[in-house]
Structure 1
Amino acid sequence: MARVDIGIDLGTANVIVYVSGKGIVLEEPSVVAIDKRTNSVLAVGAEARKMIGRTPGNIVAIRPLRDGVISDYDVTEKMLKYFVEKVVDKKGFGRFFMPRIMVCVPTGVTEVEKRAVEEATRQAGAREVYIIEEPIAAAIGAGIDISQPNGNMVIDIGGGTADIAVISLGGAVVSESIKIGGDRFDEAIVRYIKKQKNLLIGERSAEKLKMEIGTAIKPKEEKYMKISGRNLVTGLPESMEIASSEILEAVSECVEQIVIATRYVLEQTPPELAADISDRGIIMTGGGSLLKGLDKKIQESTNIKVSVAEDALSCVAKGTGSSLSSLDLLEMGGTFKKK
């Protein structure tokens, strides 16, 4: 049987699985539904996500990753095992097939956090486990040749973190990770509407607002979206229209933190690599990079061309999977350690 490698983008919001020779074979939310009475798993992924905010007392829908790292080890292990078995069974590799698996983590995670990911992956059925940092995987997935002695800058904004790195010769020369991502955008929208409108909405409603009318810059044309929630004064259900300028105000602090972190990385970059970045521009990946106008906001602040990668959502997963064919280069660049 030909060797098959699996890359897993173990994200705070979604898990994306890439199989060598097949491409992306699975993309599901990082959610697990647990029956608290029996501690058994009732649903994983999309089915479990439907249960968020809608479960009876004995069932809890858990997101076992927070800010890009494992917050609930046991649940993460069960989730990983479910996804790996689902991919292995679907592809007909057989029950006893044990693949090599590369998993990506945010920049700057601790050794303890890395070990938790490695152990959970091994328990899920991996023969060999490798860890790669998100900006490196994102750069590879975006089609950047990281093997050359040239400076490339990547901003990967996922559900839990924004990872910013300057990459050269297979490794990160300067990097920064902040706990700002799609989840924080959603939480900021929930807080803003609660404070300004006396309306309590759920995270899924906030995410919908962000995706439909969200913006990081002043909109040329105001957009509106109707949203429903619970009025905090009357306690009754209520619907109202929210404007895109209000979402801009809600997420402005989060956006500013990403801009500040980007400028910080640029200030720490060696001059030769900074010159390369000035010529090549900055590449953005991840679901958070799709917030309308965020690329323009960073471009205005840095005076460097910023572009969003094609298929930005899956860049990290693609890079994670395909990086298994470049282990020597990545080891030379200090990107990973074989476990």
Structure 2
Amino acid sequence: MFSAIDIGIDLGTANILVYTKTKGIIINEPSVVALDAKTRAVLAIGTEAKAMLGKAPDSILVIRPLKDGVIADSDATLDLLKAVMQRAAKQLGSAYRKPNVMVCTPSGATKVERRAIHDAVKQSGAKTVHLIEETVAAAIGAELPISEPVASVIVDIGGGTTEVGIISFGGVVSSNTVKVAGDRMDEDIIQYVRKQYNVLIGERTAENIKMEIGYAPVSHETENMEIRGRDIMTGLPKTITLSSLETQEALKESLSAILECIRATLENCPAELSGDMVDQGVVISGGGALLKGMQEWLSKEISVPVHIAPQPLESVAIGTGLSLNMIKQLEKMSR
């Protein structure tokens, strides 16, 4: 009854998720913290803090402490993690001691960045902390046979980074990371609207546009969406109509960068494993996997089947939690 519990944390640029074997995903909140500008006291985290983005007065700092998959503001990250661990403890009841935590790190993270993530989780109340590469966690969460001698190819398109990995026998054979993902796509839409219409929109509006009428380069029936922003010339509010063809144009550059990252990883794959890809295909996870037309477009570009993970938004968190059962196995394979 008083044994320590195992939890997995997906410390993402856009969202922070906590997974337990007994209850599944118990926390799924945006990685945003609202602080008092003078005292640095935490006022809100997650959804509540995200609602303040672009709307808070000067007395409130709204921070996204993780950038490109790594810690950009260590104090704010620690505040966020402490609040998340407290919420997790409440959900799991007080009968549990400090948890054993598995947390994912980007494949391209440096030793210093990994140490920062490890220390932040440890300080926030973990008993033991283990790190796992994001691509391996995403593959486990997407139910890929990573310990078998076949090529499991995972493309995790998150908020800050896109991670591509080829995994066989539980180890990463080839991997690449590019700092182009959901956040960059939002920025692309902001810049496009600014250039074409002289209208300034915020991050949340851009994200809504991406989710509603964002398309990968595939043919589709045009969709339109009314959006509101500030006219740069007059400074007054303005309403414009944006089409899905325009969002396609805005996202073209970012999607090309993601495609190049996938191609570079596949090119480094041993010949014996390349054959498996034709049979097994590629699995995409993360929020970017849900962009309309993504599966069809990628399949056409890389000429192999593309599948979407069963729970694309939660794959990394689920894999991170499940990997606690495989610590010894993963450590042996990573030596």
TM-score, structure 1 length as denominator? 0.97
Q: Is the 8 A contact 1:67 1:159 kept in 2?
A: yes
In 1, distance between residues paired with 2:222 and 2:201? 22
Q: Indicate if the aligned counterparts of 1:219 and 1:244 stay in contact, CA closer than 8 A.
A: no
Aligned equivalent of 1:297: 297
What SS class does the counterpart of residue 6 from structure 1 fall into? strand
Query: What residue in structure 2 maps to residue 188 of structure 1?
Result: 188
Q: Distance in 2 between matches of 1:78 and 1:56?
A: 21
SS in 2 for 1:164: strand
Deviation at 1:136, TM superposition (A): 0.5
C-alpha deviation, 1:333, in angstroms? 1.9
Contact 2:136–2:172 under 8 Å retained in 1:
yes
Off by >6 Å, runs of 4+ in structure 1: none
Unaligned runs of 5+ in 2: none
- When normalised by structure 2's length, the TM-score is 0.98
AA at the equivalent of 1:278: V
Taking only aligned residues, the RMSD between alpha carbons, in angstroms, comes to 1.1
Q: Supply the AA of the counterpart residue of 1:325.
A: N
Contact 1:218 1:245 survives alignment (8 Å): no
Aligned partner of 2:284 in structure 1 is 284
Q: Is the 8 A contact 2:8 2:20 kept in 1?
A: yes
- In the alignment, the residues of structure 1 paired with residue 99 and residue 220 of structure 2 have an alpha-carbon distance, to the nearest angstrom, of 50
Q: CA deviation at 1:171?
A: 1.2
Count of matched residue pairs: 334
Which residue matches 1:79? 80
The answer as to 2:129 corresponding to 1:111 is: no
Quote the Cα distance in structure 1 between the aligned partners of 2:189 and 2:47.
Answer: 23
Amino acid aligned to 1:235: G
Secondary structure, aligned partner of 2:149: coil
Q: Is the 8 A contact 2:157 2:287 kept in 1?
A: yes
Query: Could you list the per-position Cα deviations for residues 179-209 of structure 1 after superposition, in whole angstroms to 9, with x for gaps in the alignment?
Result: 0110000000000000011110000000000
CA distance in structure 1 between the aligned counterparts of 2:142 and 2:201, rounded to whole angstroms:
35
Matches within 5 A, 1:1-339: 1=1, 2-94=3-95, 97-334=97-334
DSSP-derived class of the 1:26 partner:
strand
Q: For structure 1, which segment, 134-143 or 296-305, has the greater mean C-alpha deviation from structure 2 after superposition?
A: 296-305
Letter in 1 for 2:16: V
Deviation at 1:289, TM superposition (A): 1.2
Once residues 265 and 90 of structure 1 are traced to their aligned partners in structure 2, the CA distance between those partners, rounded to angstroms, is 40
Distance between the aligned counterparts of 1:128 and 1:106, measured in 2?
Answer: 20
Identity %: 46
The alpha-carbon deviation at position 58 of structure 1 amounts to 1.4
Alpha-carbon distance in 2 for matches of 1:252, 1:91: 44
